[in-house]
Amino acid sequence: MDEHSGHKTVSAAAERTKKQKQLGVTQRKFQQRIQEREKELQDLRQAVQSLKRSAQTAVEDSERIFTELIRSIERRRSEVKELIRDQEKAEVSRAEGLLERLEQEIAELRRREAELEQLSHTEDHIHFLQSCQSLCAPPGPGDLPSITVSPNVSFEAVRKSVSELKERLEDVFKAEFKVCGRVEEVSVLEPQTRQDFLQCESVIKP
CA distances from 40 to 54, 150, 203 (A): 20, 73, 17
pLDDT of the residue at 140: 66
Helix residue ranges per DSSP H, the chain: 3-120, 125-135, 156-178, 194-204
> Using an 8 Å Cβ cutoff, are 197 and 188 in contact?
no
Instruction: Note the pTM of the prediction, 2 decimals.
Output: 0.55
Closest to 202 measured CA to CA, from 9, 69, 29, 84? 29
pLDDT tens for the chain, 206 residues long, are 445 555 566 688 888 888 888 999 999 999 999 999 999 999 999 999 999 999 999 899 989 998 999 999 999 999 989 988 998 898 888 888 888 988 988 898 898 888 888 878 878 878 777 777 777 777 666 655 565 666 555 678 888 888 898 898 888 888 777 655 554 554 444 445 555 544 444 433 44
Residues with Cβ within 8 Å of residue 112, at least 6 apart in sequence: 135, 139
Taking each helix axis as running N to C, give the angle between helix 125-135 and helix 3-120, from 0 to 180 degrees, rounded to the nearest 10.
Answer: 150
pLDDT of the residue at 191: 46
How far apart are the C-alpha atoms of 206 and 203, rounded to whole Å? 8
93 secondary structure, DSSP code: H
The phi, psi pair for 60, rounded to 5°, reads: -65, -45
pLDDT of the residue at 169: 85
124 secondary structure, DSSP code: -
SS3 153: coil
pLDDT of the residue at 205: 45
> Using an 8 Å Cβ cutoff, are 166 and 146 in contact?
no
> Using an 8 Å Cβ cutoff, are 184 and 176 in contact?
no
How far apart are the C-alpha atoms of 84 and 186, rounded to whole Å? 54
In one letter, which amino acid is 54?
S
